Structures are given as C-alpha cells and as structure tokens.
Amino acid sequence: MMLSLAPPSNPSRSLATNPRTKAPFQIAKTHPISGLLLPIRSMHRELKLSSSITSEKRLPTAQAVSERVEGGTRMTRGGEDVKLLGRWASPLVMRTRTALNLKGVDYEFLEEVFGVKSELLLESNPVYKKIPVLIHEGKPVCESMIIVQYIDDVWAATPPAILPADPYDRALHRFWAHYVDDKWFPSVFASSRAQTEEARAEAVEQVFAGLKLLEEAFQKCSKGKGFFGGDTIGYLDIALGCSLGWLKATEKMTGIKFLDEAKTPLLAQWAERFCANDAVRGLMPETDKLVEFAKMLQAKFKTAAPAK
C-alpha cells in the first residue's frame, strides 16, 4: 500500500461486481465542494466527462476478507463511500492504500493522470492541489500521514491499531515520521538528482546517516518485535516503508547499496517483512518501472529548466 502497478489501462467507468455479494458497485459521482472538510453537493457529470482520472474499485486484501468472514474480528461499516485520488508511483498515496488495506476498507481508487490535475482534485484539495486525497462520505481529507491517522480514528474498532495507544509512543512515531518526510526522503531523491558530484556525495552521506538513525529508532520503537508498530505494521512502518520502492529504484540508478544488512541489519530485515506483508505486497511498485518513471521525470524537469 495487489494490483497492476501501471496506471489502469481502461478508463471506462462501468459497474464492477462485488465478489462477496454479487451485487454491482455503484460507480460514485463527483462533487464540487465548497471548501476543505465541508460537506459537498451532488453533481453527476464532471468526473464522468473528465479525462484526467481513471477509476478502479479496490477491495481489502484476501487475508482481511478471510479474517472478517471466518474469525469475525475485522468488521467495517458497510455501504460507505470511500474514494482515493492518487497515482501508482507515489509513496505518499501508497501510505493511504496500505492503511486502508490494514483496516480492510473497500475503496475506489481514482488514478490521476500525470501532468494533469483533475477538477475533482482541485476541488478536493484547493490549498495544496496535491495527491493523495481521501474522500470519505463526500468529505475530503488531505496530506498522507493525516489521512493515515484519520483512517485509524474512523475505523478504530477494526484491528490492527495503526498508532500506538501510549501517548509517548505515539509522539515518538510522529516525530520519526516527520523526520522521514522532512530530512531523510528528500536526501534519497537528491542522491539521484544532484547536479554536481559534491552535492551527490552530500546527499548520499545524508541517506546513510538517516538510515543509521532509523536503525536506532527501530530498536527503540519495535521493542524487540518485527515492526516499528510491534507485532503489526504501524504508523512509522507506513511512513518509512512506503518509500522502500523508491529507495530500491535509487539504488539501481546510483549503483549504491543503501539498505545494507551489514550496516543496518534490523532495518534490512524489517524491510523484507514489510514488503512481504499482505497489506503491502500488491502495492509496492516494481523497481524497473519506478526507474523508468524517474528517468522520464528527470528528462521532463531538464527540459522545463530555464536556460542559463
């Protein structure tokens, strides 16, 4: 957070069938909104006519369905309207999808076409105009880790809990999640995009330094268990783990092995467990596809850069 990793090839919005009830899914309408987190008014035509989004109905993982049916321990409220605006390659979007999978929530994934912002996106996130956006019962929620916490709050009765129960542990997870976004992940991107060898070397050093810090954070947060969240994937697992696809792609582009079991053994083993988890496995983009996508982005940025 499987499915095809490429953007959906068929943008048509025909009815899909729920394999559990045999009833058709009603393809959702789009709505103009009056502002963030405010109820939105009904309008049918815009999304249907828009060429900037394609739709795909997502069900919870097979394991989640099995647990709900056989064990009766995982229940979600039926009939809820949940949509997610995003792109296949975005680690921020993957965070939301992973959280939804963990909670076993049915949702409709609306793939935003690269380089185009749909009207629904602009209406749902008029401040930042960025993905991901979760639309739950017509109300948009923006920013990936805010969405993850929202999912944990709304479906709190459905295990597993994503954020720890202890206030200090929650604060610790939030701190390191912010570090991933503010410091570590930008250095990963800089290591493959740097224009000079000096800048590249500095970025690479920051990636390694960050991994060392995160190794220590894992030891403290996991308390000897398999994930930052303990026995199951949690808030910090999602924040860092959904970047692993891009870390692998960066390793391939730079020829540098960042996640090395000899240097950060706990993180290396954790990464394998995270990627193998049922909530994640079908969402993690293939390395070669991300490399191809990254090269396309670099070429686009180079073309758009003003001449000196």
Mean pLDDT of 2-23: 37
Query: Is the pLDDT score of 308 beyond 60?
Result: no
Q: How does residue 298 score in pLDDT terms, banded at 50, 70 and 90?
A: confident
pLDDT digits (tens, 9 = 90+) for 148-175: 999 999 999 999 999 999 999 999 999 9
Asked if pLDDT for residue 4 goes beyond 60, the answer is no
Q: How many domains does the chain have?
A: 2
CB atoms within 10 A of CB 207: 24
- Rounded Cα–Cα distance for residues 226 and 64 (Å): 20
Mean pLDDT of 76-81: 66
pLDDT of residue 299: 84
User: 133-145 pLDDT, tens per residue?
Assistant: 999 999 999 999 9
Q: What is the mean pLDDT of residues 185-209?
A: 95
> Is the same domain home to 1 and 100?
yes
The residue type of 112 is E
CB-CB contact of 275 with 244 (8 Å): yes
- From 140, 159, 178, give the residue that closes a domain: 159
The model carries a pTM of: 0.76
Q: Same domain for 130 and 251?
A: no
Pairing status of strand 133-136 against strand 53-58: unpaired
The verdict on 154 and 181 lying in the same domain is no
- The CATH number assigned to the domain holding 77 equals 3.40.30.10
Q: What is the average pLDDT across 268-284? A: 98
Q: Which of 109-113, 114-118, 297-301 has the highest mean pLDDT?
A: 109-113
Report yes or no on 304 lying in a domain: no
Q: Does the pLDDT at position 243 exceed 90?
A: yes
pLDDT at 57: 56
Q: Which residue has the higher pLDDT, 67 or 231?
A: 231
Residue 267 inside a domain? The answer is yes
- As a whole number of angstroms, the distance between CA 61 and CA 64 comes to 5
pLDDT at 297: 86
pLDDT higher than 50, residue 73: no
Same domain, 196 and 234: yes
- Note the pLDDT of residue 286: 97
Is 242 among the domain residues?
yes
DSSP state of 184: I
User: Domain range spanning residue 212?
Assistant: 167-299
- Are 134 and 246 part of one and the same domain? no
Longest dimension (CA), the chain: 65
For the cut 50, the answer to whether the pLDDT of residue 21 exceeds it is no
- Quote the mean pLDDT of the chain: 81
Q: Note whether 184 and 128 are same-domain residues.
A: no
Q: What is the pLDDT of residues 80-97, one digit of tens each?
A: 899 999 999 999 999 999
Q: What is the pLDDT of residue 301?
A: 73
Query: Do the domain assignments include residue 307?
Result: no
Whether 305 is covered by a domain: the verdict is no
Model confidence at 67: pLDDT above 90: no
Q: Decide if 247 is inside a domain.
A: yes
Eight-state DSSP code of residue 224: T
Handedness of CA 136, 141, 142, 144 (dihedral sign): negative
Asked if residue 127 and residue 24 are part of one domain, the reply reads yes
